[in-house]
Homo-oligomer: A and B are copies of this chain.
Amino acid sequence: MKRIGILGGGQLGRMLLQAAANYPVETFAMENDESCPAAHLCHHFTKGNISDFNDVFNFGKGLDAITIEIEGVNVEALEKLEAEGVRVYPKPAALKIIKNKILQKQFYRDNEIPTSEFLITGKKAELHQQVDFLPAAHKLAMGGYDGRGVEILRSTDDLEKGFDEPAVLEKLVSIKKEISVIIAVADNGDTAMYPSVDMVFDNRLNVLEYQISPAELPEKVLWKVEAIALKVVKELKSPGIFAVELFVDLNDNVFVNETAPRVHNSGHHTIESNYSSQFDMLWRLMLGYPLGSTEPILPAAIVNLLGEPGFTGEAVYEGLHEILQIENVFVHIYGKKQTKPGRKMGHITILSREKQELIHQANRIKQTVKVVAGTN
């Protein structure tokens, strides 16, 4: 039986381990927190720091394969493990490109993959020479995650918010849509692409409103989206699961925003809406089995459940009973003991043939389900 480890024990690890139990595989997970979402669902849990060389190397040595559920892992340890024969998904070489936003942008440019115009900055003071380039997004090269490490600079007044460390300054694109495409890549280079996902943002709050799949795009734009996403994963030259996030601008030009080399929030609906989910797919490819089917069962939407503003403490879920009365609504609670404002606590998937029904139910769920803090 193959022995496979996951670096990180959050919700992605949790859903990976749910899927793992279908296969002949002995599972390992490492995270700093023994009560993390994935800790109780693996054969062997190790308390450790995924960004520490020794912790990662000691965890991975002797395993057949290792994967990640977050980019902030020690890549040097993964390189050493790879050199010693452990299969690493994604390959450390690909992960290094993606972890560093400067290298990632240069990778797109070097491979003629459309991406927004950018400049590289080392110190905050350099921004004063780039006023003509604004409005732009300033993104820290290393360590950004989930909205941290990004500042929008619209005018000279904003320059003070910029980063004093290596960063990318990306010209803002007039975005019509944000699209994500999940692609699986097997060891032998075979690929399987899921239908594209429309990430619908609340422009006022700049938070993800809901996701809907398949995305509604003119056929020619969809072709561009799919061709570009496929080129990204081909050029990364690594097996694994990849989420390529793209912008469609007002003129239907398509740009790559960024790529995640792992299972991804924008693929959670695949658990119910596709015959083989992104989680199932990763096990198939790590175990050397043929890729599964990405065919959709029904169109889907998902809503992320975020900790309600103003509540910190033991999580309580309100409204689940009401929304589980809706046909083909599926709840995924991540088992995090503590909620805090904006923390990802779960997601809810809706399946329906009708797009309007998906949007209607997504909005209803957003109004009904709240993660608050209580005593139970």
Contacts and interface: CB of A to CB of B under 8 A. Distances in A.
Nearest to A280: B330
A124 to B, nearest CB: 44
A21 B1 contact: no
A289 B351 CA distance: 18
Interface stretch (A87-95, A141-149, A319-327, A355-363): A319-327
Contacts of A317: 24
A223 interface: no
A366 interface: no
Interface string A17-33: 11001111001000000
A153 to B, nearest CB: 41
Interface stretch (A40-48, A104-112, A127-135, A251-259): A40-48
A15 B20 CA distance: 11
Given A40-B42, A41-B40, A297-B297, A289 B320 contact: yes
B18 A275 contact: no
Interface in A240-290: 272, 275, 284, 288-290
A22 B331 contact: yes
Contacts of A324: 284, 289-290, 292
A23 B335 CA distance: 8
Copies of this chain, complex-wide, total 2
A14 interface: yes
A338 to B, nearest CB: 12
A54 interface: no
B23 A333 contact: yes
A24 B293 contact: no
B41 A290 contact: no
Interface residues of A, number: 39
B1 A376 contact: yes
A327 B18 contact: no
A308 to B, nearest CB: 15
A332 interface: yes
A334 B227 CA distance: 39
Contacts of A155: none
A328 interface: yes
A293 B328 contact: yes
A292 B323 CA distance: 11
A282 B161 CA distance: 52
Interface string A339-360: 0000000000001000000000
Given A43-B40, A275-B328, A321 B288 contact: yes
Nearest to A37: B21
B327 A293 contact: yes
Given A41-B41, A328-B275, A321 B289 contact: yes
A330 B19 CA distance: 11
Contact of A23 (B21, B331, B376): B331
Contacts of A21: 14-15, 17-18, 41, 335
A321 B1 CA distance: 14
9 contacts: A14-B21, A15-B21, A17-B41, A22-B333, A24-B317, A272-B275, A290-B324, A290-B325, A293-B328
